[in-house]
Structures are given as C-alpha cells and as structure tokens.
C-alpha cells in the first residue's frame, strides 16, 4: 500500500474566475491539479461548505466590509464575501477538476459561528474535522497538498498536517493565493519554517 495521499483543497466555483471569492490565477492551476490527481493512488478533497449567514461573511454583520478584520471569541477573523454556501453552484467543485477518484470529501466551515481554513482543525483551533484520524487509520504518512487558496486553506492545512506528524509537501504551482496584506509571503515563510516541503508539481 502506498503511504502517500494527495489533498486537493477547495477547488470550488466560488474560488475560481467569476466566483464570489475568486482567487487570482485559480483557473490556470486546474490542469496541474488534474495532473497531480492522475499521479496519486489516493486522493482526498476538501470542500468549503458554509451555511447561509455564516459568521465569516461580511454580509452577516452590520456595516462590515469584506476583507476587513473582526474580533471573534476565538481571536481575529477575516470577514469574507459570502461564498461556498451549502447547496449553491458556487460551492460545487469546478467542473474541469477530475474529482471522480477522490476517496473522501472533507467538508469544513459548516459550524455557523466558526470559520475553518484548515482541513484538520477549525479556526477556534480546537474543533476537529476528523481528517487526522481518517488519514492515520488508513496508514498515510506523507501528504502532498494543492488547491486554493495557498495562503489560507492550503497553508493552514499544511501547518496542521505537520503538527499532526505527517511529512508534508505543498505543490506550489498547483496552488493560487489570495495575497491579502502580504499573506502569501508570510504563509510561505511559516510553512518553510514548519518543515513543509515547498515543491513543484509540473
Ligand atoms: C478560503 C477564505 C475563506 C480558502 C476559504 O479556501 O482558502 N479562504 N474560506
Ligand atoms: Zn470559506
């Protein structure tokens, strides 16, 4: 059995061109993500999956601007445009991403008051998604991560995966970043420091 799994993060319509929270360059990575999927025996997808009126949406607060910072019970939280609402087209996977062989889809961000960038732990840093247990029960020891967005859901997932004891590589060319206030460089540095391999897929 191969001990390696590919984690494809949030390749959803709302993060792609024309979406509610479009990540610059998102559509361009689709062929690379598909190439990675083709190369791995085991693929896990994550899907951002918010209830309408989620606390991380700027629209859920009076006078709040998208991309502004808010103070939540668990700490600072960026407020986003409403995105990836459960059951809407924006929450579906991009039609060109080859999702057929995925063995698991982890949904995250479904607690109305807690955002979840990481595929492992929600933004309160306490609530678990169950992915750590799933991967360990299946015997995976090394994870390769690609998808959206490099500086949020990919980076937080990679850091938590390192914390959970996995060998982790991010295929940087199979990602695209939101880059809010230098978040791309900041999260690349944090990942490097945490021992995340920053590689290329191509
Ligand atoms: C993401 C912001 C809000 C991501 C998800 O997938 O990186 N970013 N929700
Ligand atoms: Zn989200």
pLDDT for residue 175 is more than 70: yes
pLDDT at 201: 77
> How crowded is residue 168: how many other Cβ atoms within 10 Å of its Cβ?
24
Which of 14, 84, 153, 160 does the annotation list as catalytic? Answer: 153
| Confidence label for 202 from pLDDT (cuts 50, 70 and 90) | low
Percent of the chain with pLDDT over 70: 99
Who lines ligand 1 at CB under 6 A? 10, 15, 48, 80, 117, 148-149, 152-153
* Each residue's pLDDT tens digit, 83-136: 999 999 999 999 999 999 999 999 999 999 999 999 999 999 999 999 999 999
Distance CA 84, CA 107 (A): 11
Tokens, residue 81:
């445009």
Q: Which domains does the chain have, with CATH numbers?
A: 4-52+82-198 (3.40.50.850)
pLDDT at 200: 83
Kindly give the distance from the C-alpha atom of residue 153 to the centroid of ligand 1, in angstroms, as a whole number: 5
Secondary structure (H, E, C), 6-29: EEEECCEHHHCCCCCCCCCCCHHH
pLDDT for residue 1 is more than 70: no
| Span of 1-10, 28-37, 47-56, 168-177 with lowest mean pLDDT | 1-10
Q: Are strands 104-108 and 75-78 parallel, antiparallel or unpaired?
A: unpaired
pLDDT at 72: 97
* Ligand 1 pocket: which of 7, 8, 9, 10 to mutate (most atoms within 8 A of CB): 10
pLDDT for residue 62 is more than 80: yes
Kindly give the distance from the C-alpha atom of residue 137 to the centroid of ligand 1, in angstroms, as a whole number: 27
Average pLDDT, the chain: 97
User: What is the distance, to the nearest Å, from the Cα of residue 118 to the centroid of all Cα atoms in its chain?
Assistant: 6
> Please, are residues 150 and 187 in contact by the beta-carbon 8 Å criterion?
yes
Instruction: Report the predicted TM-score, pTM, of the whole model to 2 decimal places.
Output: 0.97
101 noted as active-site residue: no
pLDDT for residue 172 is more than 60: yes
Which of 10, 14, 132, 151 does the annotation list as catalytic? Answer: 10
Atom of ligand 1 nearest to the CA of 50: 9
| Confidence label for 160 from pLDDT (cuts 50, 70 and 90) | very high
Mean pLDDT within 197-201: 89
pLDDT for residue 44 is more than 70: yes
């Amino acid at each position: 059995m191969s001990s390696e799994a590919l984690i494809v993060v949030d390749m959803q319509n709302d993060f792609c061109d024309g979406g509610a929270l479009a990540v610059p360059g998102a559509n361009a990575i689709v062929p690379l993500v598909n190439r990675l999927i083709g190369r791995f025996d085991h693929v896990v997808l994550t899907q951002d999956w918010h209830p309408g009126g989620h606390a991380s949406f700027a629209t859920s607060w009076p006078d709040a601007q998208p991309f502004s910072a808010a103070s939540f019970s668990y700490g600072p939280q960026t407020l986003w445009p409403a995105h990836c609402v459960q059951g809407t087209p924006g929450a579906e996977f991009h039609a060109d991403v080859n999702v057929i062989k995925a063995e698991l889809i982890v949904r995250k961000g479904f607690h109305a008051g807690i955002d979840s960038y990481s595929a492992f732990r929600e933004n309160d840093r306490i609530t678990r998604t169950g992915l750590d247990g799933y991967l360990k029960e299946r015997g995976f020891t090394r994870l390769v991560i690609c998808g959206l967005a490099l500086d949020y859901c990919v980076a937080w997932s990679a850091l938590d995966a390192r914390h959970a004891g996995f060998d982790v590589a991010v295929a940087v060319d199979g990602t695209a970043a939101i880059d809010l206030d230098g978040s791309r460089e900041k999260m690349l540095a944090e990942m490097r420091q945490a021992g995340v391999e920053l590689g290329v897929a191509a």
